[in-house]
Structures are given as structure tokens and as C-alpha cells.
Amino acid sequence: MQEAFVNINNIPTHIITWGKWIEESLNDTKELVICITGNPGLPGFYTEFGDALRKELGSSGQNLPVWVIGHAGHDDPPAASIREVPQLSGNQELFNLDGQITHKIEFIKKYVPRDVKIHLIGHSIGAWMILQLLQEQEIRQRVKKCYMLFPTIERMMESPNGWLFTKIAMPLYSVFGYVFFTFFNVLPVWLRILLIQIYFLIFSIPKQFTGTALKYTKASVAEKVVFLADDEMSRVRGLQRELVQENLGLLKFYYGTTDGWVPVSYYEQLKQKFPQVDAKLDSKKIAHAFVLRHSKPMATIVSNMIQQNVQSN
């Protein structure tokens, strides 16, 4: 595993890779895997998934590089870094959905050669971003297959979690959020870590994510995460039917059965609208935020998907 912050669209961006680093030559590589995260877009939450996916692919003889890209502004570089993430105020266009899509387009154009085919994994809002990427012909031509995991591609505000976010979480954050996160970061590091670990213990989240969660609690990061989520509620409304129809051959959907963001009814309605769609309903009770507790079984599922499409070449 290799990781670093690289400058994409003038924003220091956290990248984690397995197999080959983004700046290494890809002359002997025909295909690779790029994972676009959900929200919050911190690659640190995807380390177990990326590692397991790379091993699964390697054991099957498919040594595809695996890259995970975080969202612009969701992860600050180390304090010693010469580059800083721009503040949200006055730079909203860098951190909203359009900004995040531009960010991913620039990354692909800069680091993926035209002759290398991409297996795109989109988790949650990452799946919606993939649909938008497919409107860029230069990107679409490089895509081998898209794996849409727990895809928030429609009616986010109408979902149970969308209702909670817009009616309860967002109003509370508007009044107390920035003050809370600012106060939290005044506390000694050991106390912040202890509070996070207590939270993890209550919700059965592995301790390995403590460091990533500590980054997430920074006020400058939290505000950008919430800002993007609020934009999602406004923008991700009706299903982009023409866009889905045009790209059915490239899309593979994986829906959960316990997903507060994407109810099973969304899966059923997608199947009704597009009888030929390649969509599957989870049978293992994997959570929407699979990276916290179900990375390994999800890596096995995605690896099998990728292998089918590599072998079909």
C-alpha cells in the first residue's frame, strides 16, 4: 500500500494505492481499478477494502492495481505540508457535487493513460458521480465497467436517512455544528481519541479507523462533508433515466436490504424501469457503510464482478 497527497484541481488530495502508485509507469498495465468513495470521502476508511480487493484479484491471477481517491476537501494533508486545502467560504464551487466531479475527471485524465481500461467502483454518492463521469466521452471511452455499490443515484431526500439528515441533523449542525467541532478539537488529543473509541465501542466500529475518524472531526473537514451532503439532498432527486439507459452495458448495481439511504423499493423500481439492467440485491445483510464492518465480504463480491468482466475481454 502506498499513499500520499497529490495536487488535483489545486486541492491536496489523499490517494491510496495497491499494486502501482499513480506516478509509476502503466506501460505493462491494460486495466486498473479506481474506487470513488462515498461521503465522507476519506480514503482511510477504505484501506481494509482496498487491501482485501487487491489480494482477492491477485489470488485469481488478475493483478490489477487498485486506487482509492478521496473527495476534495475531505482530508487535510499533514501540518508540515507546503500545500493547504482552500477554505470552504468563497470556494464552494470546488467542494460541491460539480466540483467533486471536475476533481475526478482531472485525476483520471492526469494519471490514467488513454489505452488503460478502468474498472470504476462507486460507493454511495460515488455511484452518482460515476454516472456524471460517463457523460464525458474522453472518460467513458476508458471505462471497462462500473460497479455501483449501495448507489445513492436518486431520491436521496425521500429516503429514511435523507429525512433524518434534512429534518434533524442539518438544522442541528447549522446551530451547533461548527462550534461543537471547534470545541472538540481544543481538547487534548488523548481525550479526543478516547471519546472516539467510546463511540466506536458503542456502535461496534473497529478501532483501526480511529485515526481517520480523528481527521473527520476537524471543523474544516466536517463543514465540507456536511456541505457536500446538503448539496446531494438538493441535486440527487429523480433518476437520470436517459443516462442510465445509455450506459446500461457499463453498469452493474449492488443494492442492500438494510439501507436507510437506498430502500429496497429503489432496487425493485429500477428493475421495473429497466428489465435488462444488471442489478443484484444483497443477501448477506451488508450495511450501506460496508467499509466499517464488511470490507472483506464486499471485496470478495466486487472481485468476482471484476473477474467476470476482465475474463470477458
- Please say whether the beta carbons of 291 and 202 come within 8 A: no
Phi, psi (degrees; rounded to nearest 5) at 279: -135, 140
User: Considering 288, 294, 295, 303, which one is annotated as catalytic?
Assistant: 288
Q: Sort residue 204 into left (φ over 0), alpha (ψ -120 to 50) or beta.
A: left
Known catalytic residue at 259: yes
Q: Is 244 helix (H, G, I), strand (E, B) or coil?
A: helix
Known catalytic residue at 124: yes
Closest CA to 35 of 51, 23, 24, 11: 51
- Please say whether the beta carbons of 288 and 262 come within 8 A: yes
User: Considering 124, 159, 295, 303, which one is annotated as catalytic?
Assistant: 124
- Please say whether the beta carbons of 223 and 170 come within 8 A: no
Give 220's contacts (C-beta < 8 A, 6+ positions apart).
76, 85, 87, 88
Residue indicated by cell numbers 464525458: 136
Known catalytic residue at 14: no
Where is 225: in which H helix or E strand? helix 219-235
Full DSSP string of 89-141: TT-HHHHSHHHHHHHHHHHHHHHS-TTSEEEEEEETHHHHHHHHHTTSHHHHT
Count of H helices and E strands in the chain? 15, 8
User: Considering 76, 231, 259, 282, which one is annotated as catalytic?
Assistant: 259
Q: Which residues are catalytically annotated?
A: 124, 259, 288
